[in-house]
Amino acid sequence: MDLLRFSISRETLTQRYAGLEVPSDDTSDARLKEPHVIAVLTYASAEKVAREALITCDNRERAVLLHSYWDTSRQLALVERAPGQQSLRLSISANYPSPANTVVISIPIAKDDLDLAHAELPAGFHAAAFRR
């Protein structure tokens, strides 16, 4: 998935980046091999990673499907919720011939960080702070 590049302020050009990593099956990090893991969302500046969020699903079968490289499509977008309030919106959909059953996860950006406490996720989905 391509890196999302955006500014957090209209007044000044303060570049930030967001990316989504779907861990490969041969990852060396055992935490990312857990079958409920879907992906890791990263929020960063040019200098450093500010926050990573581990996206998981309680339903193991659904998590495995949403984690699949070939069976799903993912889209990451910056959305303005209200003037001066932005969120990262992650959409994950199953590919044809399966029904799309799109999952939408919205994580606000507050004080130049991911606001995981106010994330909007479907029931059974979680976004938790993650460190490598």
Tens digit of pLDDT for each residue in 70-126? 899 999 999 988 777 899 999 999 999 888 899 999 999 999 999 999 999 999 999
What's residue 97's pLDDT? 87
**Helix, strand, or coil here: 86?**
strand
Q: Which two tokens stand for residue 94?
A: 């199953």
The 10 Å CB-count burial string (b at 16+, else e) for 50-88 is ebbbbbbbeeeebbebbbeeeebebebebeeeeeeebbb
Total domains in the chain come to 1
Q: What is the span of the domain harbouring residue 26?
A: 4-130
pTM of the model: 0.92
Which of 25-29, 43-47, 88-92 has the lowest average pLDDT?
Answer: 25-29
Output the CA–CA distances (angstroms, integers) from residue 61 to 4, 66, 67, 129, in the order listed.
29, 9, 10, 23
Beta-carbon contacts of residue 34 (< 8 Å; ≥ 6 apart): 56
- Euclidean distance between the first and final Cα of the chain, in Å? 20
